[in-house]
Copies of this chain bind each other. A is one copy, B any other.
Amino acid sequence: MFYEKVAVIGVGLIGGSFALALKGARRCGHVAGVGRSAANMKVAMERGIVDVVEDMASAVSNADLVLMATPVAQFSAVMQAVGKALKPAAARRGLGGKIAQFVPAHPIAGAEKSGAAAASAELFRQKRVVLTPLPENPPESLEKISAAWGACGARVSRMTPEEHDSVFAAVSHLPHLLAYALVSDISARADAAQLFGYAAGGFRDFTRIASSEPEMWRDICMANRDRLLNELHLYEAKLKTIGSLLETRDAPALEKRFAEARAVREKWLNGSWLNGEHE
């Protein structure tokens, strides 16, 4: 598929990388960008991520494809504005109204850096993109969106929204919370400077996701609050178990847990887990 005009609402790491990847794959004519920050849009223009900066109505009204890549909390306002301005031809394709054209997608790719400056055409290569279709989405909308992400080099799969939120509460949202909590824990100490002075590579990697966007992660935590709380409580129970092994000096049980965790992680890294794709 070829998209003559692509509108990108929110030209940050994700939106900017999507634009660069589509351009790199020669799948689009030009990209119109919409954004809050003039400084960021300047970077997006300078880097050739977008060809023109427009207001929402102009960008969206005659676009063949609109990517909404703003923080989650702005989705409702952005959708309202986009809805008003969608291309009539495209809108007609939707059976039950414009919502039929909106296909929720979660690219499983990121970096601790944000903004157009961090965008890269390679960000999605070999990464997963999970579509969580709405009941209203017609097959042609899903194919169109799958094709666009496929052109960015991504491996596209599908889940229900509920399944998606459960999976990511466990493997993404919880670890973010844990990493933020550790940095927060250490930095509140009187001897924080000494502690950080001896923190090394293990600490750096463990806390890498604590350098993620606070605004975005606030929104994600709030949007998935119930499942995240559930995950947090499961994890707290696990810590209690491990704590009691320490209390009772049960070295063999502790080693067994460590060995099992390492074995599972190696299996995961080697790709010998079933991959859980739903296609």
Contact = CB atoms under 8 A, between A and B. Distances in A.
A202 B215 contact: no
A255 B218 contact: yes
A7 interface: no
A137 to B, nearest CB: 21
A242 interface: yes
Interface residues of A, number: 90
A172 B206 CA distance: 10
Copies in the complex: 2
Interface in A250-279: 251, 254-262, 264-266, 268-269, 273-277
Contacts of A134: none
Interface of A: 108-110, 127-128, 130, 167-168, 170-172, 174-187, 189, 191-212, 214-215, 217-219, 221-222, 225, 228-229, 232-236, 238-239, 242-243, 246-247, 249, 251, 254-262, 264-266, 268-269, 273-277
B246 A232 contact: yes
A202 B222 contact: no
21 contacts: A109-B200, A167-B195, A167-B198, A171-B200, A175-B202, A175-B203, A175-B207, A181-B239, A182-B238, A184-B264, A185-B238, A193-B276, A194-B276, A197-B273, A202-B212, A207-B265, A210-B261, A211-B265, A211-B269, A218-B258, A232-B246
